[in-house]
Amino acid sequence: MRDSVGSVRTVLLLGGRSEIGLAVVERLVRDGAREVVLAARGGTAAPSVLTALGATVHSLEFDARAPDTHTATVERAVGLVGDLDVVVDSFGVLGEQADYEADPASAARAAAVNYTGHVSVGLAVAARLREQGHGALVVVSSVAGVRVRRFNFVYGSAKAGLDGFAQGLADSLHGSGARVLVVRPGYVPTRMSAHVEPAPFPATPGQVADAVAAGLRSGATTVWAPRVLQPVFAGMRLMPRALWRRLGR
């Protein structure tokens, strides 16, 4: 973090229109952050709540599908606000499994956004944080990647890859002063998930943001939202595959 008491001054949101990501940014601004960069394809307008809270908000072009631009995107964010105290990685797409099976090329494009885009930008962010000697990368994963279900296995498998990548990246940063916080939310009702049937133990974007803020304060490596999902999925990992297959329909 930026100062001796661990407060956050600057925040970069990769996925500048993400409802979960914006909720996290708002929470950090309420806690004292004052410089925000919202990075999204085509840029994005500053939400009035952030400016009303006293934050200076910058907009930046970011395309998850263009990995060769990601290092430059991080450098531009640094040029706008200086050292990056918290980077929130919260972009992705959630399509329909049936559509992916009917159009494998579209499945590959979605997987590129949901996994490989995070790899390139995550490595670029990690290099910057390592150079700074401080800062946190918050990676919004999903319980969908903890054990992949057949009804959304294209999305779930990408999240499983992202989750593993984030954990490995965290280990690579150990001792550098920088760190990674992996966030595993369950079902969160947002525009992106509007077509998905609600699941047990839902969380609001605000509740995910609260979990992230608590994890940053405590030095956690992983947070679940809600917390009850951690023991639930511990049990699901042990479930016989035949039973899991039936539940995953």
3-state helix, strand, coil in the chain (%, to 5): 50, 15, 35
Contact 68, 88 (CB under 8 A): no
64-83 exposure pattern, b = at least 16 Cβ within 10 A, e = fewer:
beebebbbebbebbbebbeb
Phi first, then psi, for residue 137 (nearest 5°) are -105, 120
Q: CA 19 to CA 140: how far, in whole Å?
A: 12
- Return the axis-axis angle of helices 104-111 and 153-173, rounded to nearest 10°: 20
Q: How many residues does the chain have?
A: 249
Active site residue 187: no
> Residue 225: enclosing H or E segment and its boundaries?
strand 222-225
- 147 φ, ψ (degrees, to nearest 5): -145, 115
Tracing tokens 């907009």 back to the chain, one arrives at 59
Instruction: Considering the candidates 100, 115, 155, 187, report the single residue annotated as catalytic.
Output: 155
The label of the residue with tokens 């917390």 reads 227
Distances, alpha carbon 141 to alpha carbons 44, 88, 180, 187, in Å: 23, 11, 12, 12
Phi, psi of 8 (to 5 degrees): -100, 130
- List the catalytic residues: 155
